[in-house]
Homo-oligomer: A and B are copies of this chain.
């Protein structure tokens, strides 16, 4: 990747101009080829100044979910091992699923600036306005039985919630099983899909949609974005999607490794810390029926345990659950 080599030389010399000669030497590239690569980087959104006698200088980097940005200083070994970026796709989950079927490695990440048919749970639409969000799908190949997939969803929820907390001052919380909320508004959704045999998952595709810089007017009712929530609170309004995407990958890897070494127990504990649901009254919608109950606990498999009005404990592993104010 000659483009990336040139880029990295320029990144390491942000305060000064790098002469054409030096750039060629450091990047291991011929003088004749340099202009072509500089132009390619500019097309990707990098602002590179070129001055006669002085040379080249990286003036601004784009907030684009492209491999050269995502991988820059990314502190992971597996998550982001391959990064495939698109301006516009139907659904990053569909692309990741197809690539996984073709044998693409664990840790491969598909990113897009815009999704035309973003997918939510149960065939619902996930609104994915252009350049406002992070639309990301990761290929995982965990050694789990199909009934363990809830664990991956809960793991992803804590990774994303923690990454948003690392990245902003927002004390986001988790709504079972897979929504990241700020004051009852949804900032992020997670859709886990899997191909499995009877007793083992072949692969899991972890889809994550985060509303970052999206304007409230481009989002459906009940949703908000990190930027909108920060603005309400007088905070920063132009956020780096790249920084957050990297942080999400790092947190995913951290918790994925934690689960592999310590089991699912610590993940549930963190989940409970980040959730405001346990102990709340909730409305459960399940198989076309709706009932109220008390959210009692998360069981070791990741199901929500509720206490119904007749006092019985019931395990909820599908359906929708909303906290009653």
Interfacial residues, chain A to chain B (CB-CB below 8 A): 121-122, 145-147, 149-150, 152-153, 177-178, 191-200, 202, 317-319
Contact (A317, B147) CB under 8 Å given A122-B200, A200-B122: yes
A318:B200 contact, CB within 8 angstroms: yes
Number of copies: 2
Main secondary structure of the interface of A (DSSP, over half): mixed
Q: What is the distance, in angstroms, from A200's C-beta to the closest C-beta of chain B?
A: 6
B196:A146 contact, CB within 8 angstroms: yes
B317:A121 contact, CB within 8 angstroms: no
Closest to A197 in B: B193
Residues of B near A194 (CB, < 8 A) are 146, 195-197
A198:B122 contact, CB within 8 angstroms: no
Residues of B near A145 (CB, < 8 A) are 147, 317-318
Q: How far is the CA of A193 from the CA of B200 in the complex (A)?
A: 10
Q: How far is the CA of A232 from the CA of B68 in the complex (A)?
A: 67
Residues of B near A317 (CB, < 8 A) are 145, 147, 199
A197:B122 contact, CB within 8 angstroms: yes
Q: How far is the CA of A152 from the CA of B150 in the complex (A)?
A: 20
Q: What is the distance, in angstroms, from A154's C-beta to the closest C-beta of chain B?
A: 9
Residues of B near A318 (CB, < 8 A) are 145, 198-200
A198:B146 contact, CB within 8 angstroms: no
Q: How far is the CA of A178 from the CA of B198 in the complex (A)?
A: 10
